[in-house]
A = this chain, B = another copy of it.
Amino acid sequence: MTTINSELKSFSTDAFHNGEFIKVSDQDVRGKWAVFFFYPADFTFVCPTELEDMADHYATFQDLGVEIYAVSTDKHFTHKAWHDTSPAIGKIRYVMLGDPTGAISRNFGVLVEDAGVANRGTFLIDPQGRVQYMEITAEGVGRTAESLIDKIKAAQYIAAHPGEVCPAKWKEDGATLTPSLDLIGKI
- Give the interface of A toward B (CB within 8 A): 1, 3-5, 19-21, 41-46, 48-50, 52-54, 73-75, 77-78, 80-82, 84-88, 99-102, 109-110, 113-117, 119-120, 131-147, 150-151, 154-155, 158, 164-170, 177, 179, 181, 183-187
A179 vs B44: C-alpha distance when bound (angstroms): 8
With A81-B81, A100-B117, A167-B50 as known contacts, state yes or no: A134 contacts B133, CB within 8 Å: no
The answer on a CB contact under 8 Å between A146 and B132 is: no
Instruction: Return A61 CB to nearest CB of chain B, in Å.
Output: 15
Instruction: Return A22 CB to nearest CB of chain B, in Å.
Output: 11
With A134-B136, A137-B151 as known contacts, state yes or no: A44 contacts B101, CB within 8 Å: no
From A43, which residue of chain B is reached at the shortest CB distance?
B77
Which residues from B are CB-within-8-Å of A155? 138, 141
A21 vs B180: C-alpha distance when bound (angstroms): 10
Instruction: Return A155 CB to nearest CB of chain B, in Å.
Output: 5
Q: A133 is contacted by which of B114, B136, B146, B186 (Cβ under 8 Å)?
A: B136
The answer on a CB contact under 8 Å between B169 and A3 is: no
The answer on a CB contact under 8 Å between B1 and A3 is: yes
The answer on a CB contact under 8 Å between B134 and A141 is: no
A146 vs B184: C-alpha distance when bound (angstroms): 26
With A3-B109, A134-B135 as known contacts, state yes or no: A168 contacts B187, CB within 8 Å: no
A86 vs B52: C-alpha distance when bound (angstroms): 25
A42 vs B139: C-alpha distance when bound (angstroms): 25
Which residues from B are CB-within-8-Å of A110? 3-4
